[in-house]
A and B are shown apart, each in its own frame.
Chain A
Amino acid sequence: DVKVTQSSRYLVKRTGEKVFLECVQDMDHENMFWYRQDPGLGLRLIYFSYDVKMKEKGDIPEGYSVSREKKERFSLILESASTNQTSMYLCASTGGAISTDTQYFGPGTRLTVL
């Protein structure tokens, strides 16, 4: 079974703190994604990566950066957390772009910024 794990299920941080969210997948997938989920807005793509050290901006990259030093690990970084970044963050991975490939999601990290 594909497993995507995220480092924390719940996180509380203060405004201005640097926050790291970690995601690890065990299926040797090339592509990894970070989304944020807010009520009524669905899943919005922040960043994705198609290879080690490669990254592309998604729809809402402002205020975030990412790091992919190893194939299995994709980190989301909030350089200076703000209250409007309080949200659920979901990581996903997929093996490729053919239509039969699905995205596999982690359980999510619920981040609260005070």
Chain B
Amino acid sequence: GQQLNQSPQSMFIQEGEDVSMNCTSSSIFNTWLWYKQDPGEGPVLLIALYKAGELTSNGRLTAQFGITRKDSFLNISASIPSDVGIYFCAGPPDSWGKLQFGAGTQVVVTP
């Protein structure tokens, strides 16, 4: 099955900072998904990527589909307190719609 390595595991950042996290796969993907989980809630899809090299933004969040098709990056610019949460990457769904998730990156924003 898919093996996803997501890093870093956690990051403590100051408000206003830019942050970056990444995910690598042991296999080639045709889709990368990035989810965010707010404290006490379920994950919500932020960005979906479908083509190698694709760069997609959602507000201050930008995600890139790596050209090797084995990695993806998520950047948060000018972080604010509501960026706190856990960010998960995921690969393409299988024939059952199942997703394999990375272990998550916990983001803590300090004023």
Taking Cβ atoms with an 8 Å cutoff, the residues of A that contact B are 4, 9, 30-31, 33, 40-43, 45, 48, 50, 56, 58, 90, 92, 94-103, 105-108
With contacts A40-B103, A48-B98 taken as known, whether A101 is within 8 angstroms of B93 at the C-beta atoms is: yes
Query: Looking at the complex, which of B11-19, B39-47, B66-74 is the stretch in contact with chain A?
Result: B39-47
Cβ of B6: which chain A residues have Cβ within 8 Å of it?
A: 42
Which of B30, B44, B95, B96 counts the most A-chain CB atoms under 10 A from its CB?
Answer: B96
B33 at the interface (CB under 8 A from A): yes
> Beyond the given A94-B93, A97-B96, could you list 13 further A-B residue pairs with CB under 8 A, ordered by the A residue number?
A31-B97, A33-B98, A42-B6, A43-B88, A45-B98, A99-B30, A99-B50, A103-B45, A103-B93, A105-B43, A106-B42, A108-B40, A108-B42
Q: How far is the CA of A43 from the CA of B104 in the complex (A)?
A: 8
Q: How far is the CA of A45 from the CA of B93 in the complex (A)?
A: 13
Nearest CB to that of A29 among chain B residues?
A: B97
In the complex, 22 of the A-B residue pairs with CB atoms within 8 angstroms, ordered by the A residue number, are: A4-B42, A40-B9, A40-B103, A41-B103, A42-B101, A42-B104, A48-B97, A50-B96, A90-B42, A92-B42, A95-B97, A97-B96, A97-B97, A99-B31, A100-B48, A102-B33, A103-B93, A103-B97, A103-B99, A105-B44, A106-B42, A107-B42
- Interface size range on B against A: 20 to 34
Cβ of A42: which chain B residues have Cβ within 8 Å of it?
A: 6, 88, 101-104
Q: How far is the CA of A107 from the CA of B99 in the complex (A)?
A: 18
Give per-residue flags for B20-42: 1 if the beta carbon is below 8 A from chain A beta carbons, else 0: 00000000001101000000111
CB distance from A85 to the nearest CB of B (A): 19
Q: How far is the CA of A33 from the CA of B43 in the complex (A)?
A: 13
Q: How far is the CA of A41 from the CA of B31 in the complex (A)?
A: 22
Contacting pair A31 B96 (CB below 8 A): yes
Q: How far is the CA of A98 from the CA of B104 in the complex (A)?
A: 24
Q: How far is the CA of A43 from the CA of B43 in the complex (A)?
A: 10
Cβ of B41: which chain A residues have Cβ within 8 Å of it?
A: 107-108
Q: How far is the CA of A86 from the CA of B107 in the complex (A)?
A: 23
Cβ of B9: which chain A residues have Cβ within 8 Å of it?
A: 40
